[in-house]
Structure 1
Amino acid sequence: MSESNQPADQPVGHPVRHIVFDIGKVLIHYDPNIPYRRLIPDQAEREAFFDTVCTHEWNLEQDRGRGWDEAETLLITEHPDKADLIRAFRLNWHEMVSHSYDDSVDIMLDLIQQGRDVTMLTNFAADTFKQACEIFPFLKVPRGVTVSGEIGLIKPDREIYDAHVKSFGLEPAACLFIDDSQKNVDGAIAAGWQAVHFTGAEKLREDLTRLAVL
């Protein structure tokens, strides 16, 4: 394939020796609506809650390392009438990760079985990641993981990719990153990695075959 025909998210010409998986929406499902459909049955009210109270940006700070007590206190001070619903986010978090993406998990486990070097790099709160590992034991199988909440760095910032490389002794150009977020894919490429945008297991198999990983 000529360079002009290469997918935009794929650098050219360096053999892949390290495969790095994201976790949420690649290996396991994540949807905060699952418990809140029960807690806030009205869709418009529920959407307003996530838009103005337990927002994506608020939750991202837990992925960056902020503790849940501090996070809850901050919101309850601003929204005292929503205190129970705010505390329900962490209390019911296990429902949000309702199932694994078995086709993707099978790909990861097959790569490990073949002797490939597989690690994981994820935006995840430290405590919920430990809980996820108990729910989904396959998360303990790869060589290791960089968890954003444990090191205070977060994708797509360059520093977390560099930290992962340093921690596991990787060569950036030989790394292939798999993530469902285009921003995180772009962040990996900016850090000198190869990367593919995950949209499903079938496309992932095609990407890995094209790159001579499978």
Structure 2
Amino acid sequence: MSSTDELRDFVRQALAAGQDRQVIGDALQKAGWTSKEVSDALDGWLDGQGGLPPVPRPGRTLLVKEVFFYGLLFISLSMLSWHLIWLCFSIIDMLIEDPYGRPASPSSMRWPIAVLIVFLPLFLFLNRRGWQGRDSDRAGRESRARSGFASITLLVSSLVLIGDMIALIFALLNGDLSIRFAAKALVVAAVGGLILLYYRNEDHV
């Protein structure tokens, strides 16, 4: 039996014995379980009524439709982020003269604009449906698919921000830091920060 199964079984037995949930939670935290683990274990049982023992709630499920939905949401966010950065880079190239005299082409803006026109409405629609689905979940369950994709997104965004900082410091130390480079680094940092802000309420990650 895994530790999670042992925790779940202990909570079931304690509730069946009529113990108060607060007392059970305090005892488990003193034993070393985290507050998240304790909360999940307690939420997994509904107090029995009419002589019934504690009733198990539906656990977290990983459905194909959830993987498809949140996978598409993840791809949409990734496409928006990448092509927004691409578009901003093109605008910066148009506004700030290249120190090496390389000309900027307005045609470089066409593809990211086309992608943004398609993926922005799709992302907004999926995002709205995702939050509506969480609010209407009668069992209060969190999607493992959403949690997984959110974790991947946060990891990638954090690595991008770290890489952006390293590139900025390297350019400064190497004497290659220009206004154009600094502006592009700021765009990357802003987009990465917005993604982290978007997932700020993902407390289940």
Larger Rg: 2
Q: After TM superposition, is the score higher than 0.5? A: no
Q: Which has the higher strand share?
A: 1
Larger relative contact order (C-alpha < 8 A, sep ≥ 6)? 1
TM-score (norm 1): 0.23
TM-score (norm 2): 0.24
Q: Which has the higher helix share?
A: 2
